[in-house]
Amino acid sequence: MEQKSINVDFSENGVKLSLVGLDKSEILPKDYSLDDLAEKITKLLNESKNCKRNLEIDLKAGVIKQGGQEIRLLAKEIKILKYFYKHSNEIVSREQLLSEVWTKNNKETTRTLDVHISRLRQKLGEVGDAQQVIQTVRGIGYKFIEP
């Protein structure tokens, strides 16, 4: 199940709810009810789902898009994403990625791969929920969930 975090800021004027990772927030007046709070939380969570659906990875153009925002991908990032798409919703080991994405005579380490994944997540994080798209499977590798 997908987990989301909501920041709650209390002030003398009311309560501000913000979904972590999005520029969306909801304001509740000082005299809010629990029904109002539940409604605002549901609205934020629904907006987060819509944002994720708008995420587009265009491998031919080498960009990640959402709304009007475009982020360029490096050649190695494109290769990693192509491999992830071929094995979408499957657990892929670090060793599999290294052997398929890097050349056979290249002695890259799993740390090199982790750095590339981290950069990909940073780029995805600018336009969506990166941790949900590229999930870490502890001790094994990664799982890619198509946006």
| pLDDT of res. 142 | 92
Buried b (16+ CB within 10 A) or exposed e, 27-44: ebeeeeeeeeeeebbeeb
pLDDT tens for each residue of the chain, 147 residues long: 455 667 788 888 888 887 766 667 788 888 888 888 888 888 877 776 655 546 778 899 999 887 677 889 999 999 999 999 999 999 999 888 988 888 766 666 778 888 999 998 888 875 556 667 888 898 899 998 887
CB atoms within 10 A of CB 141: 20
